[in-house]
Structure formats: structure tokens, C-alpha cells
Structure 1
Amino acid sequence: MFSFLIRRSRGLLLAAATASVVSGICGVLLVSRINAALAVDNSTATMAWIFAGLAVAVMLSRTLSSVLFERLGQHALAELRRYISSRVIAADFRRLEILGGPKVQSALSEHSTNVAQFFVSMPAILTNSVIVIGCMVYMAILSWQIFLAAVAMIGLGSVGYHLAHLRAIRHLSVASREQDRLFSHFRSLVEGAKELRLHAGKRRAFSEDLLGRSVEAVRRSRSLGMSIFVASASWGNFLVYAFIGLVLFVLVGDVPERNRVMTGFVLVFLYMVIPLEALLLNIPRANLARVAAARIEEITRDIPGADADDKPDSSRLPAELGSLEIRGVTHRYYHEQSDEVFELGPLDLEFRPGEVTFLVGGNGSGKTTLAKLLVGLYAPESGELVLDGKPIDDINRDRYRQIFSAVFSDFHLFERLLDLEGGDLDERGNRLLRRLHLQHKVQVCDGAFTTQALSQGQRKRLALVAAYLEDRPFLVFDEWAADQDPVFKDVFYRELLPELKAEGKAVLVISHDDRYFHLGDRLLKLEHGQLSVAEKSVSCESPNPETGGQASVGSVG
């Protein structure tokens, strides 16, 4: 991650680092001028001007460094989020389902922010590192014997800091992993709001056992890790003051210019305390960023860019759909109800334009999985999809998906009608809204819905409007009418589906509304992963008084 960010911001990083180094050098020179002024009886005007120049240089270089690194931090955050988003968009859908949304959200927010904060703390790390090194060099000039003692003292502090560092990193890594689970609980906090309010015991258990424990685990691990860093920084400061005592009372004997040497060492060490403390406190940020970067790398490795075709012509659609065949397609996945691996298929199907197909089956029979295989969201484990005589593979699967519009049961509704053009887009959208009786609640204005604060059924009608306006050759509706009122079901089955059929669209409707099955060209039934063709009753135009309007369905496949 750091290599990627440095490559993307090499010039800005070099300028900011240079400003930080200049700031540190000027700070050390400023201390040397102060010590020189203390060693003489009368300061000269030249010394005053040099002091003033160095003070201004410190101020300007430190300001420039901070501004550049702040810009670098924001640039790094934007680059990370663009990088992760591009990997998510290009990822294989099935792999993305397995990975889960909370990990992606954690990478885009918490982990990315921690990495970006490292760049914000870089001026403090660089500047203070230069100051500490410069002070050590100046001490060596004053007295190499005392300098060696200082090196030994700093080495002792470094060993202790390193041991503490290793332990602290383990706690920060635990906190980083627990953060992913915490984001999952945050999502449940909103998406499960209805269920939590209807069940006090469930609400209490979620708040205390899940959310509360996860929040506490992150707090405890992160606090412990950072506390170890703070304690090690205090240990470093203690060694500094201990060394000042050794210089004053033990190490400096009867040497030439004793007062100048003692004053110089004490002044340098006192000046070095704040930069050393800042350096030790900012290093944990760097380590937290390293842990976050490693977590981002781990997450993005699980979502490799697989099948998104970003070529300019990738979204070009065929003028019309000729034929679409499913030949011997199978797919295996874990089935929760039976607690075993469920196999769908082998499936053999053919779809043609101007054909409305109904798909029925019990819960868990594989209807939605079949739809995802059909539209190319899942790759078949065996068999193949053939579009107009051409097999679909990993190379052309993304282009193949562009012939479909789908409204799944777990659909997502974007606030804008994305990638739709035409000066009459608003007019066509609002015309559909009127047919679906939504004109008083929402409008299409400048290619966007004016609100999404609607019921689930109303939002699903908006998703239908978006799919209809996309004007794709093949449309898939997964239980669209399940939560619609009878009047809207009639509009969907008796008006919109015949219109799509007349326009030459291929349509697959997953439904349990058997009173409308006669409106389709064929009825497919899925049982235990196997597909059969069902016979439709021609007498289901009007409700059957004996069966309550249910059509008779008999298997002929």
C-alpha cells in the first residue's frame, strides 16, 4: 500500500520531505546559535541576524512541510478509496458476496483513514528525526566521550522501545480485525432497527453481547497497544533526564571549557526532549498505519479484479437479442436449510426475444441462483452459456451482462438513473410513475428521483421504472410483485409484461402469482435443483371459484 501511494505522489512527497528536513536542520542550527551566544559576553549584530534568519526559516519550512503533508494525506486517502472501490467494482460478484460488505466498508473508512493519517504525521516524524540526529552530531562535536555515553543510553532506550513496539503491534492487529466485525454490527444497528424495537430481549442481547462486546474489544486492544507506546515514550524521556544528571554530576570532570560543554549538553538535551517525545508518540501512528495497510492488502487480495471490462466499447449492446442458451450448466453452493452442499442443474434452457417465461419453485429451490447464473453474476462450474452462438467465458462475461436489466428481491436503488440519456428521460420516467401511482410521492427530475423515502413496495416500483428505462434486450424480475397491492400486480402482469413482449424483449419472471401464469409463453418449475416445464391452464383468465383463482400446474418435463 505504501509503495502504491508513494508512486502516485512521488513529487509531492519529495517536496514535503525536503521541507521537513530543512526545518529540522534549521532547528538544530538555531540551538547551536543559542549555545554560542551564551558562551560569549557580548552578542554581535551578526549573531542576532543569523538567529533571526534561522527562526524565520524554521517557521516557514515547518509550515510548508505541514501544509504539503496535509495535502498528501488527503491525496493518499482519496487514492486509497479510489483503489479499493475500483477493485470492488471489478471483483467477481460471488467472491464479493463471500467477503461481505462490512470488510469493504471498514477498508474504505477506518483502515484508509489510518493509512492517510500516517502521511499527516510524517512532518513530525521527519523533522524530529532530523533534530534528534542533528543534536547527536552537535554533542559529538562538543565532547566525543560524553557522546558515546549518550549513544549507549539511547541504545538502551531503543531496545526497551523495540520490545514494547512488538507487543503493541500485536494488540493493534487484534483491534484492526475486530474493527471489521464492529462494522457488521453497525450495519445491523440500522438494517435491523425494526426487529430490535419489536423484541426488547433481542435488543438488549444485541446491544450488550454483540455490539457492546465488539466496541469494548476494539477499545481494549487499541488502548492497550497505544498505552504501551506511551509508556515506552515516557521511558525514553526518563533516560534523557537521567543522562542530563550524569552529564552534570558524573561525566563532566575538569575539562577545558567545562561550563560551555555542560551548558551545551544540557541545552541540547532539553531541546531534544520535545522532539524525541513527539517522535516516539508519532511512531505508533506509523505502526497503526502499517497494520491498516496490511489489512487493506489482505482484503483486496480476496477481491482480485476478475472480469470487469473497462475498454471503451465494453458497454455497447447488441442491436437485438437472437438466442440465449444454457447448456448443461451446474452450480454448487452451501444450502442452509438442508445443511449440505446443494447442486443446481444440470440445466438446459433456451430464451428467445419476445418471450415471457415464468419460473416457479419452493423456497431454497435455486430460483435466484439460476437468475444470477443467467445474467452472468455467477460463473457456471460446468456447462456453458451461449449467446447468439458464441460461448460466454471470463473474457466476454462482463460484456454479456450488459444485455440484462434485473430487479432482484434484494435490489439496490440508486438516487440517479445512471447512464441513461435522452432529452425526454424525465418525461418517460414520470409517465411510468403515473402508471404505477407514484406521481404524488416522487418525480424524475434531471435524471434523478426526487426522494427515496418510500415503502419497500414503492421503492421496488422505482426499481422497475429504472429497469424499464434501461431498455435492455433481456429483463429479469425476481419476486417483483411479492409485496405489491393487487392493482399494481395487474399493471405489471397485464400491461407492462405484454408491452415488453411486443417490443421483442426476453423476460424471465420469478413468481408465485399463479393466477397470471397464463400470460406467459411458458412456465418453468424448479425442484431440488432440477428444472422441468410445467403445463399452464388456459382457464385461469378468471378466478376459479373452487380453487380461489389458482391455476392448475402439471409437470410435463
Structure 2
Amino acid sequence: MEKNISEINDSKLIPLRPLIGYSVLAIISGLSGFAFITIINKIISNSITSTETVSLQNYLYLFIAVIAVFFISRRWLASGIIRLSQKIYWDIRKDVIKLILKAPYRKLQEYKEEVYATLTTDVNHISNASLMIITFFSSIILIFACLVYMAFLSLKLLGVSVVVIALGVVVYTIRSKVSNKQIKEVREMEKTFIAIFNSILNGAKEININADKGTQIYDEKLMKVATTGETKYVAALLKYLNSEIISQLLFYGLITFILVYSGPVFQTPVATKVSFIFVLLYLMGPIVSVMTIIPVMSRANVSLKKMKKLKIDLTKLEKLKQFDNKGQYKDFLDLKIRNYAFSYGENQFSVGPINFDIKRNEVIYVYGGNGEGKTTFINTVLNLFNLDNGEAYVDNELVPLKEIEKIKNLFAPVFSDFYLFDEFYGISNVDYEKVNKYLELFELDEKVHIEDGYFSTTQLSTGQRKRLALINTLLEDRPIIVLDEWAADQDPHFRHKFYTEIIPLLVQNDDKTIIAITHDDRYYYTADTLFKMEYGKLEKTNISELSAIF
């Protein structure tokens, strides 16, 4: 148990100062309740031992003081815990998001389901357990105070009580090991559930057309995970519950022994027996609290280990240093890529070595069949996939592999699986006059306008959404525009306009360089340079030799 708490505390997820403050409040609140029981014990003891009527007036002010302390401390504690719980909850989420933003792209794609599970399940478990630490420490203090008071009442009865309590703890700990294993298995299944859920969301159109797909996913995949997860989780919690009940039975047996046998065996006075039993009954609360916290801490410990492993995995291929001089090569004239290479793994598909030159204001098209490596090539050039080898030269100045981030800021892409942001993120000063010019150029001025820095709508066709994405990309004011099958979703009229009017305007008026993956062979003649991607290799093609074919 101490290990679980130390791990959560070492993770710096819990602000230390509020934790100490609220723990003190919890102890004060608990001790005030303990004081209340002590006063009652004193009154009962005096009533039993004294032949005269006990005056409660002497204890009135003590009762008022104890109740006032209990009310104030409990009120402050409750409001503080509410604030602390929300702070921990959102701080953990913010930390996870920061981790995601810094993670390598390819690694992040591999861990999508794990990230979702962490942001939902793990964050809740850890934040809940963080709050339980306060209750745990205050319960420990109260248990210690009760034991001291019980020793004052009767060392013999204390000895019997400690043996029984220790026996209950041992039973609970042994049985908890199985429960902890089952909780860990349930957490592993959370990732599978998220993957199934994502397949339902992402395949919503296909499922809507063919409902049998959804039925099969639900019956054969989701139901299996849900049923197994529910069964294991219920079994784990029932083991905790049974252990808790066994401990409580031992506790009640202890009380029965004290009432029936402590007098004949230990010659315990009646007043001492009554006082001791009152303290035992009060002690049950903190002990049950500690026992209840154990499964919560176990779940949090599993989640914390998962979260730490996720952090290690996502930072294993650490992103290269982010350089402050983002505009260092903005005015480049010539970019040479040399020996760029990337592989998905041993005996798996690879791209490279790639060698090609990019001259400013050049229009470069890359074509090739499906599965030949065109998109992987783009991701490699953009350094979304960490290079196995390669270097770049900007205006004959070497940019070594370890500093390749320096040239990433030359590129502004629109991917085939693009995401359209409705706001101009990452653009410090938006030129709205230029935005309106682009909206007109891309024939969107009658459908979209700017409202408070946002596009008025993004509910458009795929081709029109791609146009908005390209406008957003152009506003980043980076010299090289990279397009992956951008024109594939455009109608014939706009596709013709794009190749014959828009690209020349972007090159001549906006000082852009274009790299585009395209299958539009009838417009290959508009390129300055044409490359073919085949089996992961990039080969330059003579455009004039293809003119008879295309």
C-alpha cells in the first residue's frame, strides 16, 4: 500500500502544499469526532461509577466546541477537496496533452488507443486515488490515536484487539493480490474496447449502409470485451468486498469477546469495557476507510504504471530539438535532399535512398501506383517519420540529420487524410484581405466567409474542404507547399483551373514552391520536374518523353 502511495506522490501529480493542508484538516475533523466519543465515554463512565447524578452542564461547552471544530474543519475540507480534485483531474489531462504534442508522429499513431484510454480511464483513476491519499493519512492518524487511547484503557484488551486486526489485514492483503491481477487485466482490455469503439465511429457510413457490419462488430467483438471486462471487474471487487466482510466479522467477534469474556478472563471493569467498545466502534470507520481505499489505489497504481509506460514509449524516439530560428532558411534558393531513407522495420517496406533537388518557385509532381511509397516519401521528407539516414543542403549549406528540424519549417502540407481546422491556429497575424482573395480564387466566397477569426462553416464537400485546408496552409507563409492527392476530390472544372491557373499564380505572385503527389497525367506538362515513385525508389522522368502517352 505504501508503495502505491509513494509512486503516486513521486509522480508529482498531486500538489504537495494543498495535500498537507487538507490532510491536517482531515485529521482535525477526525480528531474532533474522536473527542466527541471520548466525552461520551467519560460521561458514561462517570454515570456507571458514580452514585450521584452526573451534571451534563459541565460538558456542554466541550460539546459545543467539539461540534464547532468538526463543522468548520469538515466544511473547509469538503470545499478544498472539490477544488483539488478538479485541479488534479485537469492538470493530468494537460500533462498528457503536452506529452502528445511533443511525441513523434509515427509513435503517436501506434498508441492511439492507449492515449484515449489514458485520457479517460487512467486520468479518472489517478485523480480519484489522489484524493483518497488525504483520507488514508487522516485514517492512519485516527487509528493510531484510538490505539493509544485503548492502551490507556486496557493493555490486555489492546493486545487481543491488535491480534484480531492484524489477522484481518493479512487476510485482506492475501486475497487482494488476485483482485489486483484481475484489475490489471481489465485495464488491458480498455485499449481493446477503445479500438473497437473507434472502428464503429470511423466506419459509421459503411455500417449505416450495411447494418450487419455493426451487428457483427457488436456481437463478436464488443460483447466479448464487455462481458469479460464486466465479469473480471465484478469478481475483483467481490473479492475485496468478501475480504472486507471477513475483517468486519473478526471485528464483531472481537466486540463479542470483550462483552462476554473480558470480565471473567481479564477482570475488566464494566466502565472500561463500555469505553473500550465505544472506541472500537469508532475505530471501525477509519479501518474500513483504509480497506476501501486499497482497491482504488490498486486501480490507480495500474493506471499510473500504464501512464508512465506510455510516456516512455512516446518519448523513446524523441523529437529532435526545436530550433528557435524557424525562418532561417525561409529565403532559400535551392534545397538538396541526399540519401533520405526510412524503413517500417526489418524485412518490411522501405523508402530510399532518396536524392532530389528542389529549386525555389519550382513545380514538382510525383506519381506512381498504389502502394509504391508516395505518401511514405512525403512523410519522410517532412520528417514525420524519423529518418534512418540522410542529410540536406540548403543553398549548399549542410543540414545534418540531427538538425533536420531546421528545414521542417520550410514546408506547409495538405495531406490526403487532412484535418480541417476551423480557426487559423499557428498563424500570428492573419491577413484577412488575403483570406478573402483566396476564397474568391478558390471559388468559395459565396459559401464561406470569416466570422471572428473562424471560417463561417466547414460543412462542405470533401473537395471544398480541401480548398479551405489549402487556404489555411497558404496563410502559414511557408515557401514550399506539399500536396498529397489534393486534386483528386475536385470537380473537372476546378481541377483544370487548379493546374493551369492557381498553381502558376501561387508560384509567381506568392513566391511558392509546389511539391504535389498526383495521378492527373493530363496535367503533367504543367510541372517543371516530374518524378516517379516505384518500389520506394524515386526516379526522375523526362516529361517530353511522356507527352505522346499523356
- Closer, same or farther: CA 489–420 of 1 in aligned 2, 3 Å: same
**The residue matched to 2:349 in structure 1 has which SS?**
strand
**Superposed displacement of residue 472, structure 1:** 0.5
Pairing 1:153-232 to 2, within 5 Å after superposition: 153-232=164-243
Alpha carbons 2:320, 2:403 under 8 Å: kept: no
- Closer, same or farther: CA 319–334 of 1 in aligned 2, 3 Å: closer
Higher deviation after alignment, 287-296 or 314-323:
314-323
Alpha carbons 2:262, 2:268 under 8 Å: kept: no
Q: Distance in 2 between matches of 1:224 and 1:30?
A: 39
Pick from 78, 81, 100 the counterpart of residue 69 of structure 1. Answer: 81
Q: Distance in 2 between matches of 1:65 and 1:529?
A: 63
For the aligned residue pairs, the C-alpha RMSD in angstroms reads: 2.3
Q: Distance in 1 between matches of 2:312 and 2:501?
A: 47
Per-residue CA deviation, residues 60-103 of structure 1 (Å, 9 max, x unaligned), is: 2223223323322222222222222222211222222233x121
Alpha carbons 2:391, 2:404 under 8 Å: kept: no
The one-letter code sitting in structure 2 at the alignment partner of 1:385 is A
Q: Distance in 2 between matches of 1:198 and 1:282?
A: 48
The answer on 1:486 being equivalent to 2:487 is no
The answer on 1:497 being equivalent to 2:503 is yes
Alpha carbons 1:384, 1:391 under 8 Å: kept: yes
**The residue matched to 1:470 in structure 2 has which SS?**
coil
Higher deviation after alignment, 216-225 or 239-248:
216-225
- Closer, same or farther: CA 393–114 of 1 in aligned 2, 3 Å: farther
The one-letter code sitting in structure 1 at the alignment partner of 2:514 is V
Per-residue CA deviation, residues 293-317 of structure 1 (Å, 9 max, x unaligned), is: 1110111111117226456x35445
Q: Distance in 2 between matches of 1:132 and 1:537?
A: 89
Q: Distance in 2 between matches of 1:382 and 1:317?
A: 23
The one-letter code sitting in structure 2 at the alignment partner of 1:162 is T
Alpha carbons 2:22, 2:77 under 8 Å: kept: yes
* Number of residue pairs matched by the alignment: 536
Pick from 378, 386, 390 the counterpart of residue 379 of structure 1. Answer: 386
**The residue matched to 1:472 in structure 2 has which SS?**
coil
The one-letter code sitting in structure 1 at the alignment partner of 2:396 is G
Q: Distance in 2 between matches of 1:22 and 1:256?
A: 35
Q: Distance in 2 between matches of 1:429 and 1:19?
A: 57
Alpha carbons 1:69, 1:123 under 8 Å: kept: no
Q: Distance in 2 between matches of 1:108 and 1:393?
A: 37
Counterpart for residue 301 of structure 1? 312
The one-letter code sitting in structure 1 at the alignment partner of 2:385 is Y
Counterpart for residue 481 of structure 2? 475
Per-residue CA deviation, residues 525-544 of structure 1 (Å, 9 max, x unaligned), is: 0111222222224996xxxx
Mark the runs of 5 or more structure 2 residues left unpaired by the alignment.
Answer: 1-6, 48-53
Alpha carbons 2:524, 2:543 under 8 Å: kept: yes
- Closer, same or farther: CA 303–392 of 1 in aligned 2, 3 Å: farther
Deviation beyond 6 Å, 4+ runs, structure 1: 254-257
Pairing 1:343-422 to 2, within 5 Å after superposition: 343-393=350-400, 395-422=402-429
Pick from 115, 124, 134 the counterpart of residue 113 of structure 1. Answer: 124
Pairing 1:15-30 to 2, within 5 Å after superposition: 15-30=21-36
Higher deviation after alignment, 18-27 or 4-13:
4-13
Counterpart for residue 157 of structure 2? 146
Alpha carbons 1:89, 1:308 under 8 Å: kept: no
Q: Distance in 1 between matches of 2:63 and 2:402?
A: 67
Higher deviation after alignment, 433-442 or 55-64:
433-442
Counterpart for residue 236 of structure 1? 247
Identity fraction in percent = 27
The one-letter code sitting in structure 2 at the alignment partner of 1:78 is W
**Superposed displacement of residue 2, structure 1:** 2.3
**Superposed displacement of residue 119, structure 1:** 2.2
**Superposed displacement of residue 254, structure 1:** 7.4
Q: Distance in 2 between matches of 1:88 and 1:163?
A: 38
**The residue matched to 1:512 in structure 2 has which SS?**
coil
Q: Distance in 2 between matches of 1:283 and 1:82?
A: 27
The one-letter code sitting in structure 2 at the alignment partner of 1:232 is S
Q: Distance in 2 between matches of 1:364 and 1:445?
A: 41
Per-residue CA deviation, residues 29-57 of structure 1 (Å, 9 max, x unaligned), is: 22111100112241443422112212221
**The residue matched to 2:30 in structure 1 has which SS?**
helix
Higher deviation after alignment, 471-480 or 202-211:
202-211
- Closer, same or farther: CA 115–219 of 1 in aligned 2, 3 Å: same
Higher deviation after alignment, 270-279 or 465-474:
270-279
Alpha carbons 1:406, 1:476 under 8 Å: kept: yes
Per-residue CA deviation, residues 338-373 of structure 1 (Å, 9 max, x unaligned), is: xx5123222111101110000000111111111111
Q: Distance in 2 between matches of 1:334 and 1:347?
A: 18
Alpha carbons 1:359, 1:523 under 8 Å: kept: yes
- Closer, same or farther: CA 519–51 of 1 in aligned 2, 3 Å: same
Counterpart for residue 50 of structure 2? none
Q: Distance in 2 between matches of 1:4 and 1:448?
A: 42
The one-letter code sitting in structure 2 at the alignment partner of 1:63 is R
Mark the runs of 5 or more structure 1 residues left unpaired by the alignment.
Answer: 541-550
Pairing 1:447-526 to 2, within 5 Å after superposition: 447-502=453-508, 503-526=510-533
**Superposed displacement of residue 496, structure 1:** 2.1
